[in-house]
Structure 1
């Protein structure tokens, strides 16, 4: 069996994302992770809009970051995105932000849920609901 790589996207650090110390503002790292999550979900959905058709949306419940190395203006980073499903209503997304030389800049782990937008409640079995909505989980997770 071949091991799959997590989803990756590249982002260039912009000057306006810097703080007074000259490196990327702490909140921007979270934005980079959000870009990767949204791009991964878009790719996994393809032309289908199964979640929206069911009036469902992914919601962020918690986010934790560990900063490893600073990022500066002009750096280009690769941001990974991998979903881990478990039992119950929540799932986790891990993002790693790497400089192009392979240096790990930050690790982000988020807890998410799938919300019924009409009832405003989290739903059980998000993995199954993604599958039924036509989401390609091979893009979102490296595990089977």
Structure 2
């Protein structure tokens, strides 16, 4: 049995995203992970399904480890893999790779699903994903 690959998107580093040293600005790495998360949610069917139920994902915590610099013109692949546990939160991990396979950054985010009317996190996010009909095999390599 082969291990499944996580979801991935390609992004080109743009000149206006650089800092004064000519590296990709630290905050943009987080933006790239957000692009991957939103693309994954959309392709898995979550954005429309959750909007109908007045539920939305909310970023609670983000941690990044910078490994190698990125510069203008670099094209990167950003992965995203969902890890469910118990409780009201789950993790979404992203890695940013140069096309030659060099790991540029590792990002781990803690996410919750918020009831937009009560402004509270909902219990059992995995169950909410299942009941909303999301493609969990696309979202998580452990499903």
User: So what's the TM-score if we normalise by structure 1?
Assistant: 0.97
Cα deviation for residue 4 of structure 1 reads 1.3
Total equivalences in the alignment: 143
Matched, 1:124 2:123: yes
Q: Aligned residue for 2:37?
A: 37
Q: Aligned residue for 2:80?
A: 81
Moved over 3 A (4+): none
Q: Aligned residue for 2:10?
A: 10
Gaps of 5+ in 2: none
Q: Which 10-residue stretch deviates more, 128-137 or 55-64?
A: 128-137
Q: Aligned residue for 2:65?
A: 66
- Residues 115-136 of structure 1 show CA distances to partners (whole Å, capped at 9, x for unaligned) of 0000000011101101111110
Aligned-CA RMSD value: 1.1
Cα deviation for residue 50 of structure 1 reads 1.4
- Residues 56-94 of structure 1 show CA distances to partners (whole Å, capped at 9, x for unaligned) of 000000000000000000000000000000001000010
Cα deviation for residue 27 of structure 1 reads 0.1
- Report SS of the residue matched to 1:108: strand
Cα deviation for residue 3 of structure 1 reads 2.1
Gaps of 5+ in 1: none
- Residues 4-31 of structure 1 show CA distances to partners (whole Å, capped at 9, x for unaligned) of 1100000000000000000100000000
Q: Distance in 1 between matches of 2:133 and 2:19?
A: 41
